[in-house]
């Protein structure tokens, strides 16, 4: 190699082939063609059952739980069809009849019972109108997917409640009289002369109309929650009904929580980890109004022992760490509350870990 010569590599220019330049265009073209083909195919897919578009919009009406609407379904195919059942996108729709058969060119009327109160479920208490939409499907034997029609309309709210939903924040204690709840609402201007009645499911309590003001358009009612309602969270609808030309039913959701008067404190005993053979103990007390008498205590785990102490209704719960790993057991307290004049069963959870 000569002195003035150096090791140099000439750059190699890689030129894209015709395929590498055109494949993105071809791919996009293929996707577009497929989309067009699917679109055209769906357009020309034979329609076997039809409903007049005018029957799929019920217009504007009042909020009610029983709104009746009819649609006429026609078989436009050349063969007999059997609709084995109807379905809807929400439980607020009931179809009658449940099933039917249609010969070619035959039509049949289907009655729809709609609970229009669902239109306001996710609306604020200030909303005066809401759009109700649902889909109705006819499940035809030997056909998939089923024909689906979208039904819609506008629902007017008859009452605007001051609190919607009505959340009872008072401490509701089972066995005691619950505080009376007041319900305030303002009626639609066209319904200030309406005569209302208030309905509450009897298992939750009773409701009564308190007063109405035609001048101010207000409606007031009282709600008395049943003291026998089960412990825990509950929800129900208080319904205001009137019949001013057409049925109107407004639902006010009521939410609350009922607690037990007699309780175990604490309701869970956690002993943590300890080596095998170790023993630990904690105390639990039965608390409640008036005199509470513990009748018996039951547990199935032989490594647990519950003994009474010198103090009334306070018990020592002893645990033997006899097994490795996480251990959980229940202890049941059966007692009688003289204050509430009833028997109770309370559950204590015991948790520990053997190492």
| pLDDT band with cut points at 50, 70 and 90 for residue 114 | very high
- State how far the Cα of 231 lies from the Cα of 263, in Å rounded to an integer: 12
Lowest pLDDT segment from 5-19, 57-71, 88-102? 5-19
Query: Which of 36-45, 114-123, 165-174, 335-344 is most confident?
Result: 114-123
- State how far the Cα of 114 lies from the Cα of 88, in Å rounded to an integer: 11
Lowest pLDDT segment from 3-12, 96-105, 175-184, 221-230? 3-12
- Whole-number pLDDT of residue 3: 42
- State how far the Cα of 130 lies from the Cα of 182, in Å rounded to an integer: 26
With 0.75 as the threshold, say if the pTM is over it: no
pLDDT of 9 above 50: no
Lowest pLDDT segment from 55-59, 250-254, 283-287, 316-320? 283-287
Among residues 171, 174, 169, which one has the least CA distance to residue 289? 174
Over residues 235-259, mean pLDDT: 86
The two structure tokens encoding residue 202 = 């009897």
- Whole-number pLDDT of residue 46: 57
Please indicate whether residue 259 or residue 88 has the higher confidence score (pLDDT). Answer: 88
Sequence ranges of the domains in the chain:
49-156, 159-259, 263-354
| pLDDT band with cut points at 50, 70 and 90 for residue 339 | low
- Whole-number pLDDT of residue 21: 52
* CA separation, residue 201 to residues 90, 169, 173, 231, 259 (Å): 22, 20, 20, 17, 20
pLDDT of 8 above 70: no
Partners of 328 in the β-ladder: 351
Pairing of strands 325-337, 292-299: antiparallel
Shared fold status for 49-156 and 159-259? yes
Please indicate whether residue 186 or residue 10 has the higher confidence score (pLDDT). Answer: 186
The full length of the chain comes to 355
Q: How far is CA 332 from the centre of its chain?
A: 32
- Whole-number pLDDT of residue 176: 66
* DSSP summary character for residue 117: G
- Whole-number pLDDT of residue 50: 95
- Whole-number pLDDT of residue 329: 92
User: Is the domain covering 263-354 a CATH 2.60.40.10 domain?
Assistant: yes
What class has domain 159-259?
mainly beta
Lowest pLDDT segment from 116-130, 142-156, 217-231, 244-258? 116-130
- Whole-number pLDDT of residue 1: 44
pLDDT of 184 above 90: yes
- Whole-number pLDDT of residue 340: 60
- Whole-number pLDDT of residue 155: 93
Superfamily per CATH, domain 49-156: Immunoglobulins (2.60.40.10)
């Amino acid at each position: 190699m000569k002195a003035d010569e150096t090791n140099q590599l000439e750059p190699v220019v890689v030129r894209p082939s015709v395929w590498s330049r055109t494949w993105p265009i071809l791919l996009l073209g293929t996707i577009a063609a497929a989309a067009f083909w699917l679109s055209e195919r769906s357009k020309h897919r034979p329609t076997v059952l039809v409903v007049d578009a005018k029957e799929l919009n019920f217009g504007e009406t009042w909020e009610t739980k029983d709104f009746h609407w009819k649609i006429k379904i026609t078989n436009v195919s050349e063969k007999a069809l059997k609709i084995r059942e109807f379905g809807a996108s929400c439980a607020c729709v009931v179809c009658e009849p449940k099933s039917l058969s249609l010969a070619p060119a035959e039509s049949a009327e289907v009655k729809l019972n709609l609970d229009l109160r669902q239109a306001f479920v996710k609306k604020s208490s200030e909303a005066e109108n809401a759009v109700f939409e649902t889909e109705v499907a006819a499940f035809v034997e030997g056909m998939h997917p089923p024909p689906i029609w979208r039904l819609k309309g506008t629902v007017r709210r008859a009452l605007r409640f001051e609190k919607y939903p009505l959340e009872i924040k008072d401490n509701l204690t089972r066995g005691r009289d619950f505080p009376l709840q007041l319900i305030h609402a303002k009626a639609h201007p066209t319904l200030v002369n309406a005569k209302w009645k208030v309905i509450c499911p009897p298992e939750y309590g009773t409701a009564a109309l308190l007063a109405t003001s035609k001048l101010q358009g207000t409606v007031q009612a009282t709600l008395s929650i049943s003291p026998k309602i089960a412990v825990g969270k509950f929800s129900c609808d208080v319904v205001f009904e009137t019949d001013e030309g057409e049925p109107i039913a407004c639902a006010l959701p009521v939410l609350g929580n009922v607690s037990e008067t007699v309780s175990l404190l604490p309701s869970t005993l956690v002993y943590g980890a300890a080596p095998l053979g170790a023993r630990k103990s904690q105390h639990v007390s039965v608390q409640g109004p008036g005199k509470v008498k513990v009748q018996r205590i039951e547990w199935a785990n032989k490594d647990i022992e519950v003994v009474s102490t010198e103090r009334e209704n306070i018990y020592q719960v002893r645990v033997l760490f006899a097994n490795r790993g996480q251990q959980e057991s229940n202890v049941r307290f059966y007692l009688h509350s003289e204050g509430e004049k009833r028997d109770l069963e309370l559950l204590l959870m015991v948790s520990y870990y053997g190492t």
